[in-house]
Chain A
Amino acid sequence: SQELEQSPQSLIVQEGKNLTINCTSSKTLYGLYWYKQKYGEGLIFLMMLQKGGEEKSHEKITAKLDEKKQQSSLHITASQPSHAGIYLCGADYSGNTPLVFGKGTRLSVIA
């Protein structure tokens, strides 16, 4: 069974609209990482969350980790074409093992 589920699998939004991507774990997280991948390129680190209830922001992107440390959301405000790409969450389950990644959410932003 998949330990880490991302939803939705894909998303098409109109430029200027807000959107949310979710990442749900079947086990308690030690830490949660968000990455963005532009089509045909490598992954770029966005944010890391470790504490229950933690929230971090970078430009128009906000990521939150719930109190139980099993779910994280990534929220984009006033989306732009530059936000298009694949967003992946990576789970750290122990602080001592490699990240396990979700399958990704493909975001398209249309004018």
Chain B
Amino acid sequence: DAGITQSPRHKVTETGTPVTLRCHQTENHRYMYWYRQDPGHGLRLIHYSYGVKDTDKGEVSDGYSVSRSKTEDFLLTLESATSSQTSVYFCAISESHIRELFFGEGSRLTVL
């Protein structure tokens, strides 16, 4: 199994509070992704990174920011959480865009 860990795995927070989710990999893969999974919408890309300090937006990036200061860590930040950001968040890694993704176990976020 690919070495990916997400933290926290579960979080309940209140509207307006900042939240940071962490993705840590031990595979030294260049690409890292954040997806969110919602009923009726499937899996949608939030942001991705193609190297240290190199990031780009995905389909649903509004309200989210990311940072990658080290190869192994990719942080997803919700500056001011809203109820619409209640979701399950998945981190994924890959060696390149044309190689398979390896997914973390997911982080379930509830915004009250």
Instruction: Report A's interface with B, CB cutoff 8 A.
Output: 30-31, 33, 35, 40-45, 48, 88, 90, 92, 95-104
Number of A-B residue pairs with CB-CB distance less than 8 Å in the complex they form: 53
Given A41-B105, A45-B100, A103-B41, also A98-B33 (CB < 8 A): yes
Nearest-CB distance from A10 to chain B (Å)? 12
| Interface, chain B (partner A; CB < 8 A) | 33, 35, 40-45, 48, 58-59, 90, 92, 97-98, 100-106
Are B102 and A45 in contact, with the CB atoms below 8 A? yes
- Would you call A98 and B97 a contact (CB within 8 A)? yes
By the criterion CB–CB under 8 Å, are A43 and B103 in contact? yes
Chain A residues with CB below 8 A from B40, complex form: 103
CB of B21, distance to nearest CB on chain A (Å): 14
